[in-house]
Amino acid sequence: MTVLFVFVDGVGAGQADPDRNPLARGEFLLSRYADGSGAPLPAGGRAVLVDARLGVPGRPQSATGQATILTGENAPALLGHHLLGFPNAALRELLTRRSLYRRLAEAGRRAVFANAYPVVYLRALGFDVEGAPEFTLRRRARASATTVAFAAGGGAFRTFADARAGRGLTHDLTARRAEELGLDLPRRTPEEAAAVFWTVAQGHHLAAFEFFETDEAGHARSMAAGLDALGRVDAFLRSLVARLGPEDSLVVASDHGNLEDLSSRNHTLAPVPVLGFGRAAERLEGLRDLTGLAPLLLGLAGAGPAPSGPAGAGARDLAPRHPEG
């Protein structure tokens, strides 16, 4: 049984307008629209649209949206507002305490995060990792919601050495951007990246990968960049779907809208798509907002629903470490 989770940043369900929505220029798996229509899904896959606003005024943002996905808690309601970019102290506490990766570890389940990080970035955050720094950081390193959540489960972060050896993936799937920076990493097709992700996932109850170039394209209001990013992630996802066995699952989700409306560089108020394939397809019923994703993933991985309890209870600090496993 393998559970795959692919997080695709900044993709909402907008209008089927090819002049402003790159998702309407092809039948991508993520081509879902506000009226509930969308491209046919292969292999019995299902799609639902879920609320990213979570009852809080304003535009949904990455820090609170991702914290909600990774904990099952309504992060913007906790703060009283949506928070962009990186998690603040309150969100880091929430992510550390309620992380789905921590819950998996406490249930004796194994998780892996396939994204490969530069050594210099991980060391700047205080993690003890092997290898020489690849370059000099030009700005202060800040931990993303995913980084905080995965660290809370005690997992080992992957580095560019893992990507080079076929044990991890660069964030753009192909390593093109690393090559442009002069880094020695093998170029891969999206299908080859899917093969790496599938191999990395074996022996784990949950394997995750994060792709954020869709959100970057939305902020840049670039149709060309949006289509390029969508083409890569779509080929990657389709290759994963083709590998699923009868007991496997693939869940694809986003945190807020953006790319679906290039008339603005801002995030949108649109609902976001959640796709389910394999065993996950039959479990999307009743999923209404981002808080349902962590319980869904925990259930699929055999760890039960996320724990409940008062916010702020039982916190523990994020301890920089690089344990085995």
Residue 99, amino acid? S
pLDDT of residue 316: 26
Q: What tokens does 188 get?
A: 């891969």
pLDDT of residue 256: 98
Distance, C-alpha 44 to centroid of its chain = 22
Helices 89-98 and 62-71 cross at an angle (nearest 10°) of 20
pLDDT in 10s for each residue of the chain, 325 residues: 899 999 999 999 999 999 999 999 999 999 999 999 998 899 999 999 999 999 999 999 999 999 999 999 999 999 999 999 999 999 999 999 999 999 999 999 999 999 999 999 999 999 988 887 887 787 889 999 999 999 999 999 999 999 999 999 999 999 999 888 888 899 999 999 999 999 999 999 999 999 999 999 999 999 999 999 999 999 999 999 999 999 999 999 999 999 999 999 999 999 999 999 999 999 999 999 999 999 999 999 999 754 443 333 322 233 333 222 2
Q: Which residue has the tokens 């090819």?
A: 18
pLDDT of residue 313: 31
Give backbone dihedrals phi and psi of 251, rounded to 5 degrees, phi first: -120, 130
Q: What is the pTM of this model?
A: 0.92
Identify any residues that bridge with 273 across adjacent strands, giving them in sequence order: 49
Q: Which residue has the tokens 């962009």?
A: 84
User: Alpha-carbon distance 21 to 35, whole Å?
Assistant: 14
User: Alpha-carbon distance 248 to 206, whole Å?
Assistant: 10
In the chain, DSSP assigns E strands to 3-8, 46-50, 111-113, 116-117, 158-159, 206-211, 249-253, 272-278
Closest of 324, 310, 309, 304 to residue 108, by C-alpha: 304
- Residue boundaries of the structural domains of the chain: 3-300
Give backbone dihedrals phi and psi of 257, rounded to 5 degrees, phi first: -80, 160
User: Alpha-carbon distance 126 to 21, whole Å?
Assistant: 40
For 144-161, how does the pLDDT look when each residue is reduced to its tens digit (9 = 90+)? 999 999 999 999 999 999
Pair 323, 157: CB distance under 8 Å: no
For 212-265, how does the pLDDT look when each residue is reduced to its tens digit (9 = 90+)? 999 999 999 999 999 999 999 999 999 999 999 999 999 999 999 999 999 999
Pair 281, 44: CB distance under 8 Å: yes
User: Alpha-carbon distance 144 to 166, whole Å?
Assistant: 24
Task: Tell me the CATH number for domain 3-300.
Answer: 3.40.720.10
User: Alpha-carbon distance 34 to 49, whole Å?
Assistant: 8
